[in-house]
Amino acid sequence: MIRFPKDFLWGAATSSYQIEGSPLADGAGVGTWHRFSHTPGRILNGDTGDVACDHYRRWAEDIELMADLGMSAYRFGLAWTRILPRGTGRLNPKGLDFYSRLIDALLARNIRPMVTLYHWDLPAALDDRGGWLNPDMPNWFADFAQVAFEAFDDRVPLWCTINEPWVINDGGYAIGCNAPGHHSLFEPPIVAHHLLLSHAAAVERYRGIGKGAIGIVTDIEPKDAATQSEEDVAATERDDAYKNRQYLDPLFGRPYPASLAKIFGDGWREWPASDFEKIRTPIDFLGVNYYQRRVVHHDPAAWPTFASPTPVPDAIYTQTGWEVHAASLTRTLLWVKERYGDLPMYITENGAAFPDPPAAVDGRVDDPLRVRFLRDHLRAAHDAIAQGVDLRGYFAWSLLDNFEWASGFSKRFGLVHVDFATQKRTVKSSGATYRQIIASRGAALEA
């Protein structure tokens, strides 16, 4: 029998730059993603977040959609640039007001807000001072966090510090496909450390102010070796160290995985023990973003981990080239529990881009692959609960089709279709399926 706990949170997730549009409205400062998307050649088709889903103006309509789907929670990100246009110093009351209205309207619909402080869009003024490479980042981030806590903690029960440190670092500083577009082997170990210290500094501030719960959101990608050859097994370990354990191990009191020193070579650094004491500061929950597992083989051309994905025969792949593998969601949650301890978890993102019909036909958008994806992954989440994982909620990625970073608007992840020419929203079949699952507390997954 499939029944999720009564107080299980059913939600969807978004992030500010991906949906809001109007990035400079009402006194907001320039962010790194605004700058990056306006740099020719960075984003597919020259797309930008200038309008995106126009959520900055259509937020009330979007909350009605959430209510219509029966959602009990909504995870969204704050644009740091709206609140502190230059990253530090002067406050912009209009930015705070925007989020304040949003939070009130969510609560009026019985939708619990989960707020992400940092979902990749850094004030450009801070990037000009080195961004995540600057050792002052933990203070700047904690000051920003404190402004948000003081403004909203009376109404926000769940806080996430940083969304996916690995992607921020790998995409932004190693590979360069994301803002700020650096390509370096020397910067990532510094960025990783500053991200972790910044997270910890925000948690520490929260302990003095907050009444709710705070955690971090990590994307976890379980790895399987393509063969049992020594080379493939070692490549798989490196890939796992780089992507998963680089962040999770120090958060839970372990040193950085030893293989990172090999990956980064001369770029590797040693840090004072007192930093690790800070980083391990207890969190109230872990947010897990799960999209795919990776089957890995040794590949001397694949910088920086020399590990590449091996295609799996008969597997379904999403448009972003990710293998659909629901069983690995259960396994990921069990792995966290076993390795890091029995702490509350949320699935803070899970979803897929598929080639949906480009427009609604007779008011419908049918997305059978996403329906299947959603059902299989929610069953997998339930399996984890049945095996003892303290899983408290599920947030689908995403509520709306949106600006998919360097892929622009070419990849659709929404439960709700957005016609970007008219901004018309249409609930997809997957959205309707989610509504039934929520209403039945999971019983609809039995059919």
Q: How far is the CB of 353 from ligand BGC (least distance, A)?
A: 7
Contact status, residue 214 vs residue 206, Cβ threshold 8 Å: yes
Give the residue, chosen from 160, 167, 263, 381, that forms a contact with ligand BGC under the rule CB under 6 A: 167
Question: Which part of the chain contacts ligand BGC (CB under 6 A), choosing from 139-147, 162-170, 199-207, 436-444?
Answer: 162-170
The answer to whether 117 and 148 are in contact (CB under 8 A) is yes
Residue 351 CB, shortest distance to ligand BGC, in Å, is: 7
Q: Are 434 and 69 in contact (CB under 8 A)?
A: yes
Q: Considering only residues 409-438, where is the footprint of ligand BGC by CB under 6 A?
A: 413
From the candidates 164, 187, 237, 404, give the one annotated as an active-site residue.
164
Catalytic residue among 20, 187, 221, 349: 349
Count of chain residues binding ligand BGC (CB under 6 A): 11
| Interface positions, 372-411, toward ligand BGC (CB under 6 A) | 397, 404
Closest to ligand BGC by CB, 119 vs 205, is: 119
Q: What is the distance, to the nearest Å, from the Cα of residue 251 to the centroid of all Cα atoms in its chain? A: 17
Indicate whether 15 belongs to the interface with ligand BGC (CB under 6 A): yes
Q: Note if 164 is an active site residue.
A: yes
Which span sits near ligand BGC by CB under 6 A: 160-168, 173-181, 186-194, 432-440? 160-168
Give residues 26-55 in contact with ligand BGC (rule: CB under 6 A).
none
CB of 166 to ligand BGC, least distance (A): 9
Nearer to ligand BGC, 124 or 220 (CB): 220
Tokens of residue 384, six digits: 């984890």
Integer Cα distance of 444 and 436 in angstroms? 6
Closest distance of CB 402 from ligand BGC, Å: 7
The CA distance from 289 to 323, in Å, is 15
349, 367, 383, 401: residue in contact with ligand BGC (rule CB under 6 A): 349
CA distances from 295 to 55, 232, 398 (A): 37, 10, 25
Q: Any contact of residue 164 with ligand BGC (CB under 6 A)?
A: yes
Q: Which residues bind ligand BGC (CB under 6 A)?
A: 15, 18, 163-164, 167, 219, 289, 349, 397, 404, 413
Residue numbers annotated as active site: 164, 349
